[in-house]
């Protein structure tokens, strides 16, 4: 298989599962963590390696190294593997998803920004989602009349914070996620609840029109629930580890133990909370977005610009949400094809960066 973003949180877990199931790695691609990449090269012996920057090429212990997005895209297209795991973070993951599908490959997709920004123009039958919530929904889906699909949120780093303190929250504060250890961007997205909004949009593209919602479950042991027309509800319980969704994305007929089952006696109790707009202002537009999911491109671009500004200390934490809401009201012409998606992304970034 081809692993994009091999040195990230998902990438590392993916290579663990690949080792467990003896899956050969043809291509390893990542950004700039060359030290970890060199360790991965030793273990997995890929045929080709791709990194972000030319300057780092000399430090990579491999005789077939390339740099940059152009090279990456042709390597994906030419790869012999039938599976591409896309664990890049952000909009930069979209082209690789499109090229992998165009060249007839199956995509195990962790890069949620691909679907959020361009779901209308992606053939989701070629995609296996790597996310606990969509894996949970897929796991629960049965041939029974469904009323509603519900995913859960942890509430992120600030779920218990005094609302007044949120203005002054720092980057370091956003990274104290209660249940999951993930990359920097998705951990910020959890604190703003943008991540859950993204997941509702992804669910809409993956599982089609219907009724979707999210609630907070503070221990992240339930990932998804389905309300059926008959009044019954099923839930997917699993310990908080991405290795389960990854294992199914790499080999859907897995019958080996991946995780220990949740021990409900040890867990003792669960707590559920409503997602409120005073703490998570982006939640205001969730129904509108689910009706018009193509607008995900706007939310994604505004979010990436806002996060960069927040990291550079140009704006406060709550301004991430206000920038997103403002962009949602400003950019209302929706893309009609993939080229429009890239053009609109660029336009929004230009407008908001000033």
Min CB(254)–ligand NAD separation in Å: 18
Interacting positions 224-253 with ligand NAD (CB under 6 A): 242
Dihedral sign, CA of 178, 179, 183, 189? negative
Angstrom distances, CA of residue 16 to CA of 3, 25, 246: 12, 12, 10
* Interaction mask 58-87, ligand NAD, x per CB under 6 A: -----------------------------x
Output 242 or 352, the one with its CB closest to ligand NAD.
Answer: 242
Contact indicator for 111, 86 with CB cutoff of 8 Å:
yes
Contact present, 86 and 108 (Cβ < 8 Å):
yes
Minimum CB separation from Mg ion for residue 308, in Å? 22
Residue 202 binds Mg ion (CB under 5 A): no
Binding mask 133-172 toward Mg ion (x if CB under 5 A, else -) reads x---------------------------------------
* Selected binder of Mg ion within 131, 189, 217, 345 (CB under 5 A): 131
Helices (H), the chain: 9-20, 34-44, 69-78, 94-102, 112-118, 132-140, 171-174, 184-192, 194-207, 243-250, 264-267, 286-291, 296-311, 317-330, 338-353
* Interface with Mg ion, residue 345, by CB under 5 A: no
Q: If binding is defined by CB under 6 A, does position 156 make contact with ligand NAD?
A: no
Q: Would you state the structure tokens that stand for residue 168, as one six-digit string?
A: 């002054």
Question: Does residue 189 touch Mg ion according to CB under 5 A?
Answer: no
DSSP calls for 115-184? HHHHGGGS-GGGEEE-SHHHHHHHHH--SS-EEEEEEEE---TTTTS-GGGGGG--HHHHT--SS----H
Q: Tell which one of 60, 83, 89, 320 touches ligand NAD (CB under 6 A).
A: 89
Q: Which is nearer to Mg ion, 133 or 345 (CB)?
A: 133
Contacts with Mg ion by CB under 5 A: the residue count is 2
Residue 229 burial by Cβ neighbours in a 10 Å radius (0-12, 13-18, 19+):
exposed
Q: Which does 180 bind (CB under 5 to 8 A by kind): Mg ion, ligand NAD, none?
A: ligand NAD
Neighbouring residues of 84: CB distance < 8 A, sequence distance ≥ 6:
1, 2, 4, 76, 96, 100, 105, 106, 107, 108
Determine the interface stretch with ligand NAD among 3-11, 96-104, 291-299, 326-334 (rule: CB under 6 A): 3-11
Q: Name the binder of 33 from ligand NAD, Mg ion, none, CB < 5-8 A by kind.
A: ligand NAD
Binding region for Mg ion (CB under 5 A) out of 11-19, 28-36, 123-131, 322-330: 123-131
Least distance to ligand NAD from the beta carbon of 308, Å? 12
Q: Please name the residue that has the structure tokens 């209302």.
A: 332
- What residues numbered 161-190 form the site for ligand NAD, per CB under 6 A? 180, 182-184, 186
DSSP state, residue 295? G
Largest CA distance in the chain: 62
CB of 92 to ligand NAD, least distance (A): 5
Q: State how far the Cα of 18 lies from the Cα of 37, in Å rounded to an integer.
A: 15
Q: Does 110 bind ligand NAD (CB under 6 A)?
A: yes
- Which one of Mg ion, ligand NAD, none interacts with residue 8, CB within 5 to 8 A by kind? ligand NAD
C-alpha 311/C-alpha 17 separation (Å) is 32
Contact characters 23-52, ligand NAD, x per CB under 6 A: -------xx-x------------------x
Among 15, 65, 88, 247, binds ligand NAD (CB under 6 A): 88
- Report yes or no: 14 and 6 within 8 Å, Cβ to Cβ: yes
> Which residues in this chain contact ligand NAD in the complex, by CB under 6 A?
5-11, 30-31, 33, 52, 87-89, 92, 110-113, 131, 180, 182-184, 186, 242
């Amino acid at each position: 298989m081809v692993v994009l973003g091999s040195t990230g949180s998902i990438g590392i877990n993916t290579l663990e599962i690949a080792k467990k199931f003896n899956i050969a790695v043809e291509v390893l691609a990542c950004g700039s963590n060359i030290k970890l990449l060199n360790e991965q090269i030793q273990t997995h012996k890929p045929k080709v390696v791709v990194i972000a920057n030319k300057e780092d090429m000399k430090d990579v212990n491999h005789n077939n190294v390339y740099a940059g997005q152009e090279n990456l895209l042709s390597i994906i297209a030419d790869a012999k593997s039938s599976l591409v795991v896309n664990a890049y973070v952000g909009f930069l993951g979209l082209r690789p998803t499109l090229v992998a599908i165009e060249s007839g490959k199956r995509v195990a997709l962790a890069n949620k920004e691909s679907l959020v920004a361009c779901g209308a123009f992606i053939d989701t039958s070629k995609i296996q989602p790597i996310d606990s919530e969509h894996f949970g929904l897929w796991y629960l889906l049965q041939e029974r009349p469904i009323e509603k699909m519900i995913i859960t949120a942890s509430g992120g780093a600030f779920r218990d914070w005094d609302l007044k303190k949120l203005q002054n929250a720092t980057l370091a504060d956003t990274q104290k996620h209660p249940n999951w250890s993930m990359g920097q961007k998705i951990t910020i997205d959890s604190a703003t609840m943008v991540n859950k909004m993204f997941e509702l949009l992804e669910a809409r593209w993956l599982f089609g029109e219907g009724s979707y919602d999210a609630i907070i479950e503070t221990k992240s042991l339930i990932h998804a629930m389905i309300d059926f027309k008959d009044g019954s509800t099923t839930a997917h319980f699993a310990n908080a580890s991405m290795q389960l969704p990854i294992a199914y994305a790499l080999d859907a007929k897995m019958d080996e133990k991946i995780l220990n089952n949740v021990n409900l006696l040890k867990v003792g109790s669960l707590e559920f909370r409503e997602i409120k707009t005073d703490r998570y202002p982006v939640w205001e537009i969730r129904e509108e977005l689910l009706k018009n999911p193509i607008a995900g491109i706007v939310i994604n671009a505004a979010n990436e610009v806002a996060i960069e500004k927040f990291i550079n200390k140009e704006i406060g934490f709550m301004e991430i949400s206000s920038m997103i809401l403002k962009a949602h009201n400003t950019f209302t012409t929706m893309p009609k094809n993939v080229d429009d998606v890239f053009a609109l992304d660029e336009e929004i970034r230009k407008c908001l960066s000033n």
